[in-house]
Amino acid sequence: MSLTDHISKEVISIFIIWLFIGSALIGIALGYEDWFIPKTPLNLMIGFCLLVWNTTFDSWKVILAFAIAFIVGMSMEILGVSTGKIFGSYAYGANLGPKLMEVPYIIGLYWVVLVVITSFIARRLTDSMIGISSIGAGLMVILDLFIEQMAPRFDFWEFELHPVPVKNYIAWFVIAFILHICIKYLVAQSSSRYSLHLYLSQLGFFAGCLYLLS
């Protein structure tokens, strides 16, 4: 009998994400920021792969929903970077890996991850479409508030204006709200516990970095 017969894939996934986040925070606290931060795309990819592992792909609609979130997220980011009209004037740095039209591919995957996990979390709190979309989009904006504090230092991205324009958060909320409606219709509820831990690990990482490096 295999180990996974005794330990669910959800528990394994939760352990893995906290292991990586905990290791990164310890490494940064010990002064190895320059080694850990460039590994961010790997960390995000692991989170995405574990999300796929924990999501029930019971129809083609789930694949469609993931594709829509990726395409919309990437498209909005490309338009944002090229025009400065959506989120404000900003540019991506070198630490998020390969880019398409100046936007890292991993950002598209991050849109998928965040929309899906916050949708699963929100569905545990309400059955209302408006409520799910509002809570989910709100959770994404809260996380973005913490990420924005560390993004320039980590060479993720940087806005031309400081502090970050309010329109950035408004745009995040509006785009996320629309995507949450799509996800709710196309993706059945899966692992809300894994989703909660993945969200809290991301929030904990950036909040921890803000504390350690401020």
pLDDT in tens, 111-146: 999 999 999 999 999 999 999 999 999 999 999 999
pTM above 0.85, yes or no: yes
Rounded Cα distance, 173 and 66, in Å: 18
Plot region of 2 (φ>0 → left; ψ -120 to 50 → alpha; else → beta): beta
pLDDT in tens, 81-100: 999 999 999 999 999 999 99
Residue 13 clears pLDDT 70, i.e. is over it: yes
Mean pLDDT (the chain, rounded): 93
Helix, coil or strand: residue 91? strand
Rounded Cα distance, 144 and 136, in Å: 13
* Predicted pLDDT of residue 59: 86
* Predicted pLDDT of residue 57: 84
* Predicted pLDDT of residue 144: 97
7 pLDDT band, cuts 50/70/90, is low
Query: By the 8 A CB rule, do 119 and 99 touch?
Result: no
pLDDT in tens, 137-169: 999 999 999 999 999 999 999 999 888 999 999
